[in-house]
Amino acid sequence: MLAAEALRLAAVEVLCPTAASLAGSGFPTLAGRLVYDSRAAAIEDLDRTKPYTPTLTLHTAESGVALRGAMAAADDTEADAVLDVVAQLAVVADDDDGEFVDAMAETDSDARLVLAALCAQVRLHLERSQDGGLWRTLVRRIVKIEAQTFAVPNLGLRWQRVTMRFHCEIRDDYFDMTGGGLPQPIRRLYEALPAQSYAKAKLAALASHFPAEVLPPFEGGDAYGPET
């Protein structure tokens, strides 16, 4: 479902606005420009002079569509998606294979508050901010939000990482078969995105995969055969 992918791309734009990226300032969260689409943080992006670097990574974890009821028409559907936002205080770790990015593994009450603040900023800007309206155009309602910590308590291991799971009812894809291009409501999202945005470039690349369908010409007649 493209609507589920657009849900993630719109969240990337809200949490890392194009205007802030171009200006180098004015980012809405502690992660700054370190908001990643479906991939892990890069080592070269981390600030080694600080004890940790706040980052956000977004994934579309699940999506689906179903009829509204047993007697519903074929196009009377309801769709849902789960957006995972992984918030962490990232550090450079190393093992026998070399360096890699991991979450801070120390128990630190101050760091935990920073992580909690980062998670709260995500909720604030997706659910309440004016800029978050871009994301909310795709969301009928947020059914549930889970915050899953990353730990092995029986071994005393706790990482400064939280996965926020946004369970959302979303608008299903609606394709214009004769017009082609992106389906709604993604087309409206595409039109609303800034010209230089990462999300707009990704959606533009998809549009060419949905050409218009040429319908056969209509011929006169009725259910009993052609006119004579």
Q: How much is the average pLDDT of 73-102?
A: 91
The string of pLDDT tens digits covering residues 153-179 is 776 778 999 999 999 999 988 888 778
Quick one: average pLDDT of 83-95? 96
For residue 213, the model assigns a pLDDT of: 81
The lowest-confidence range among 6-10, 86-90, 218-222 is 218-222
Residue 10: in which H helix or E strand, if any? helix 2-15
pLDDT at 220: 61
- Note the pLDDT of residue 225: 54
pLDDT tens-digit readout, 194-228: 999 999 999 999 888 888 887 777 666 555 555 55
pLDDT digits 0-9 by tens, 138-154? 999 999 999 999 987 77
pLDDT digits (tens, 9 = 90+) for 42-58: 999 999 999 999 999 99
Closest CA to 79 of 182, 163, 7, 133: 7
Instruction: Give the pLDDT confidence score for residue 125 in this predicted structure.
Output: 98
Residue 21 has pLDDT above 80, yes or no: yes
pTM for this model (two decimals): 0.89
State how far the Cα of 89 lies from the Cα of 144, in Å rounded to an integer: 24
pLDDT digits 0-9 by tens, 99-124: 999 999 988 999 999 999 999 999 99
Alpha carbon separation from 76 to 65, 172, 176, 210 (Å, rounded): 10, 10, 16, 22
